[in-house]
Structure 1
Amino acid sequence: MIDHAVRMQGLTSAIFTQVDGLRKQAAAAGKDVISLSIGSPDLAPAPHIITAMKEAINDPRNYGYTLSKGVPEFLRSVANWYKKFDVDLDPETEVHSLIGSQDGLAHIALCLVNPGDVVLVPDPGYPIFSAGPLVAGAELRLMPLTAENGFLPDLDAIDEATLRRAKLMILNYPNNPLAATAPREFFAKVVEIAKRYQIIVCHDFAYSELVFDGYRPDSFLSIPGAKDVAIEFHSLSKTYNMAGCRAAFAVGNAEVISLLGRLKSNFDYGIFYPIQKAAVAALTGPQDCVRETARVYQNRRDVLVEGFRAIGWNVPKPQASMYIWAPVPTCQSSYDFVVSLIEHTGVSVTPGIGFGPHGEGYIRIALVQPEQRLAEAVERIRNWLGRI
């Protein structure tokens, strides 16, 4: 029997592994599975992005270490791209490359948190928000995200003793898994609290471009004073359909960025240079591909939401992200509903409980199939719900 390190306690992928096992089992049995559980884009990067990567791959000089900071051209392109959010960044001190945003989210607590320190994490929340601090030995304090509060943390409900012990607060808007958005006034209140209690805020902004119906989100860093207390994570995975490339960045407070860079310089040697060249092409090239991606997801959202509403399942219509956060339409738990759904319809989704205790009663649906497959999923679910 191998002894497990204490830091592994609390880390689990059990529910996600079980759901994926059910999906594989159904497919192996010959069932036509419509997989809407994993948020992996099914769309391709724009041609100019692929061309830039091809050209860089064909150059034999581009196969050495790049170092974790990121090449200057990439850092400058990030800083210029961020100007659209009315945020000015110094590419030398306020931008750092990441091998996917999960890289930064996993490691940031190691830079800022000592064992026993408090980290404020959203519940429900993307699993790495909790996993990173747990590995760092933090005590988690869950911030419930409820429909009654617009899926925002109730900042007034956090007691002062917790705020005084907190070193880190993690936020994510537009949100995964909730597809919720946050108003500017909420961010301003977070900045005020973070300054008062000396809390570093880490905002995951990965879905800023997957927005619908004319909605535009604010960067947390655009709030006056935010750079004094915050960094923001962004990724090319969803915006430019480059999920497998693992290209992302952290921006914001120079001291925190420096700490993250120091840690990463001991852990990795940076993003493969051709991927950075592709990222530069994505960030500096034509952005019509981004608008087209958002349009595709908006149309998919409408197919599912309007289809579900037509069969009596009242599902909210989100303004952003590539997900739908839907209440379980039966009297089952979220996990039992997902099991039944796969068994009776071949449609695979993710149970809300996998994202935290306050996820119970909901499921997350990823918009990662063409419209006709989504319409088919609605029809299968309609037929099943009509029989129970």
Structure 2
Amino acid sequence: MQLRTAPSRQARILGVGAHRPPRIIDNAEVCTWIDSSDEWIQQRTGIVTRRWAAPDVSVVDMSEDAAAKALAAAGLTGQDVDAVVVATVSHLQQTPAAAAILADRLGATPAAAFDISAGCAGFCHGVALAGDLVRGGTATNVLVVGVDKLSDFTDVSDRSTAFLFADGAGAVVVGASEEAGIGPTVWGSDGGQADAIRSKVSWLQLRRGAVPLGEQVAVEAAAAAPEAAPWPYLEQAGQTVFRWAVWQMAPVAQRALDAAGVRAEDLDAFIPHQANARIIDAMVKQLKLPDSVHVARDITEMGNTSAASVPLAMERVLADGEAPSRGLALLIGYGAGLSYAAQVVRLP
């Protein structure tokens, strides 16, 4: 007996939405936490401000706002969604998945719902999965959210990371299309360098106790009980990650272009993970992108929002009119794992 399969079809991004927390933290405020300067931070990263969510705002809360906007932009409701994919590393519950809670809030039940953990590459992983679900006939519309609340995991006394991380959520709806709107994904990982970006302590160590959340208590708690009350703050080997991203990610981006049959000059926008302005500049140079290609630089105002980085930058590019609707954009995410993923998409 031959198995019945769904007819082949294409997938594209139908709508995008964003949540940017209202609290803006500039470099001057960061420099009250650590011995640094606005000039040093801007020169090293390109970051001028970043957004932090309120202590009582969760990754699900931010996801709900971004997702509702993406659905509205696509002309859909939660009832039209067949699957919800949330890319995050900062959901504070091991289980249930943030995606399941989000699906319920959006009225998407009984849509399939699950989280994926691929660090800053998570959103591009989600787009790859959503595209395949739609093309394979498993789903007609898939909601993909990239969200992180890294303020919960930022050690404000750590001079190497305190100025980097931020909060936010970005969402897209991937749906069926008559024409191809999502190119082949080039992805991978290098677990041999997993320690380059990681939590400082494990869940096992956390059994001894935990410090409260929020930057207002982080320094006091760490000083009062550094051994008895660990918390999984993020740490990274900055130079290792910088060199890996600069020299390894441009070839990945080029492979994504080649796989999609697209040349650099065919692009309308380049939307890379917003980790560091110097990394973005190096990738632009290596890819030999012409001046006609708009390069997303949301990092200046938003900082590094991990999985939310690429969709937030996409939303900004479209909102500011820097790239046309249905224009071609090269996406690439990279980070903890060390994981990466890149694809060419047609913008909504």
Pick the structure with greater CA Rg.
1
* More helix as a share of residues: 1
TM-score (norm 1): 0.26
TM-score (norm 2): 0.28
* More strand as a share of residues: 2
